[in-house]
Amino acid sequence: MKKSKLVQTNERIAEHVVQDYKKIEDGVVGGYKRVEQGAVDGFQKVSDSFVERFFTREGETVEEAKARMAGEKGR
């Protein structure tokens, strides 16, 4: 059965709407992920600086100090 021009046009419009929605969605989600990653990276830098300044012992790295503190927390 042959589709009418109105049905065909409606289907093309629907396809374009879905495609445009996907583009907008990808842009919004991508932007959110970039903002979220920036916040996480910023927090990590501040956390590392704080641990380095106040909790590291002489010759100890930040990672070693964090591991040591995590081990002490479990006791």
Answer positive or negative: Cα dihedral of 8, 11, 12, 13. Answer: positive
Written as six digits, the tokens of 30 are 């991508």
Please state, in angstroms and rounded to a whole number, the distance separating the CA atoms of residues 20 and 24: 6
Written as six digits, the tokens of 55 are 């909790």
- Is 65 within 8 Å of 75 (Cβ atoms)? no
Please state, in angstroms and rounded to a whole number, the distance separating the CA atoms of residues 21 and 49: 42
Tell me the pTM.
Answer: 0.65
Query: Per-residue pLDDT tens for 6-59?
Result: 999 999 999 999 999 999 999 999 999 999 999 999 999 999 999 999 999 999
